[in-house]
Amino acid sequence: MEKTITIEGNKFILEEDGVYCGAYLGKMNVWGKATDIVLETEDQSDEIIDKFIEKIAWLNDNKTAVLDVFIDENYDFIEFVNEEYNMEMTEIDFRDALFVENVYIYINGRNSEFSFDLDTEPDYLCGHLANMIISGKYEIEFGGMNG
């Protein structure tokens, strides 16, 4: 495997030890923010790179759909923040605070899926990250809270 690959002008470096050993780490723009991306694949072919780019593009194009799924299952965070911090946060305020902290993409031939963690600024999730899972058919699922 090559030590470095470049995707749309962004360098991804092969990790040789640690948590992401054997995966490529880099950054790309997701929802207007430079975001850590992990790509796990055995192949660096043009087809794999195209699938990777497709997934990042899908994520950028489907922010509203992702947030709809998250908020449908976690509307209680809005009520919690309003009570805990004695404020009047609206759903729009909460949506505007959410961003993608990191993305993990797995591609192995025809099999591909990805997940990512949502965070907020300010920290309305109280130090936690919200994991979202996207199937190979682009079905969105809330995967639970981390941290």
Task: Read off the pTM.
Answer: 0.92
Q: What pLDDT shows up at residue 65?
A: 98
72 vs 55: CA distance, rounded Å:
23
Q: What pLDDT shows up at residue 109?
A: 79
Q: What pLDDT shows up at residue 111?
A: 83
Task: Give the chain's residues under pLDDT 70.
Answer: none
Pairing relationship of beta strands 24-30 and 4-7 according to DSSP bridges: unpaired
> CA 53, 68, 54: angle at the middle one, nearest 5?
10
Give 90-133 pLDDT, tens digit per residue. Answer: 999 999 999 999 999 999 877 888 999 999 999 999 999 999 99
Q: What pLDDT shows up at residue 18?
A: 86
